[in-house]
Amino acid sequence: MNDTLRLTTEEQAMLAGKAGPGVQKAIEIVVALGRIYGARDLVPVASVQVSGVSYKNLGDAGLEFLEEWAAQGARARVPTTLNPAGMDLQAWPELGFSPAFARQQEAVVAAYASLGASPTCTCTPYLVGHAPEFGQHLAWAESSAVSYANSVLGARTNREGGPSALAAAITGRTARYGLHLAENRLATTIVEVRCPIGSEADLGALGYLVGRQVSSGVPYFRFQDLGPGHRHLKTLGAAMAASGAVALYHIEGLTAEAKAGNMLGRSTPSLVVDDLAPGYAALNGPAREVDLVSLGCPHASLAELEAVAGFLAGRRVRSTLWITTARATRQAAEGAGLVAQIEAAGGRVVADTCMVVAPVAGLGFRAMATNSAKMAFYAPAHSGLAVRFGPMEQCLEAALTGRWPGTDGT
């Protein structure tokens, strides 16, 4: 515990309860974290992103905690968005979610709304009007969004837990430690990638391998051939945050801070990746029949929905095909005619949720195909599903036939 934490007059007043019990509880959390991590002061945050939104994970105790905090007068004082919920908040009946689950999930979202959070329900707030600016301090919670904000955009956030993110929203502050400090943002490991990157799944397999090696370090990538990979960086960060605890990475000549200055640091041992096969092997189970194909982890962009619609034109899927995305992205896709095209092929564009936080185990699926290394990593434990992992085109082929295409399966 350190005593060097200095609070402003306003922060001291919050701590003394002068802004009400809800704010007092929030600043107690922020201050406790500051003391644990040796922070010298608190820093104002430009925005907050809160995780712990699915009723599947939160349960009744979590819901009561939120309702009680709101009843104590707590309100977000900075723009605050929500991570995916446990279901599509509009289409849940036709997707097979139970009314009992839906009632509780709606209550969770309502409790967050009464705390002043926007019900965006997405892990890609940066794609739907909530992209932070370079150098801004944030308190974001979803690991893939944290990685994207830190790495691609050059904002500064630790990976917050659900309550600490909400406490930052209610106080407008977070403790200045970890990735809020410039010295902790320097690379710890240079990663030389000597094999070509041909797809979003290649980036996911790479992220899986690197995350396992560097754990909570800061990798600095040098790619020999990134190919179209620069369009899929959200999958790289998501995978490293799943197999490891990477919250920040740099790519030479590409990501925000690597372009702005020297992020190499002093001690940077090299890791060479010249083969992605071990990543694919680790993320693929033996399932041949596939009854669910899940794309959109992290939540799909408009460009990804366009690619899916283009692939499916004039064809019809046999398996259930769900592409998860933000509600705002779905609306844009609807306007562009993409949702109608995907639905004409038998697929669904599902908003507000994802296959890890939704209670899909109760929906009768057994084997899932996905192009997301993060999803492939979590789905067996979180959703009880067998998993096949590969690029979008391979997953969509599986959706058309109900079988995983490839030399081992057909």
Instruction: Enumerate binding residues for ligand F3S (CB under 6 A).
Output: 83-84, 123, 142, 144, 238, 297-299, 324, 354, 356-357, 374-375
Least distance to ligand F3S, CB of residue 65, Å: 21
Q: In terms of CB distance, is 146 or 187 closer to ligand F3S?
A: 146
Least distance to ligand F3S, CB of residue 361, Å: 15
Q: In terms of CB distance, is 333 or 375 closer to ligand F3S?
A: 375
Helix (H, G, I), strand (E, B) or coil at 174: strand
Contacts for 25 with CB less than 8 Å, ≥ 6 apart? 69, 72, 74, 167
Which residue is associated with the tokens 């800061």?
218
Least distance to ligand F3S, CB of residue 184, Å: 24
**Angstrom distance (rounded) from CA 373 to CA 7:** 42
Least distance to ligand F3S, CB of residue 229, Å: 18
Positive or negative torsion for Cα 311, 314, 317, 318: negative
Residue among 338, 390, 364, 345 at smallest CA distance from 204: 390
Q: In terms of CB distance, is 156 or 374 closer to ligand F3S?
A: 374
- The torsion defined by the Cα of 382, 386, 388 and 389, in degrees rounded to 10, comes to 20
Chain centroid offset of residue 2 CA: 32
Helix (H, G, I), strand (E, B) or coil at 120: coil
Q: In terms of CB distance, is 29 or 297 closer to ligand F3S?
A: 297
Residue among 296, 291, 342, 341 at smallest CA distance from 200: 296
Q: In terms of CB distance, is 300 or 345 closer to ligand F3S?
A: 300
Least distance to ligand F3S, CB of residue 360, Å: 11
Q: In terms of CB distance, is 199 or 383 closer to ligand F3S?
A: 383
Q: In terms of CB distance, is 176 or 234 closer to ligand F3S?
A: 234
Secondary structure tally for the chain: helices H, strands E: 16, 14
Strand order in the sheet with 270-273: 250-251, 219-223, 189-193, 270-273
**Angstrom distance (rounded) from CA 332 to CA 42:** 38
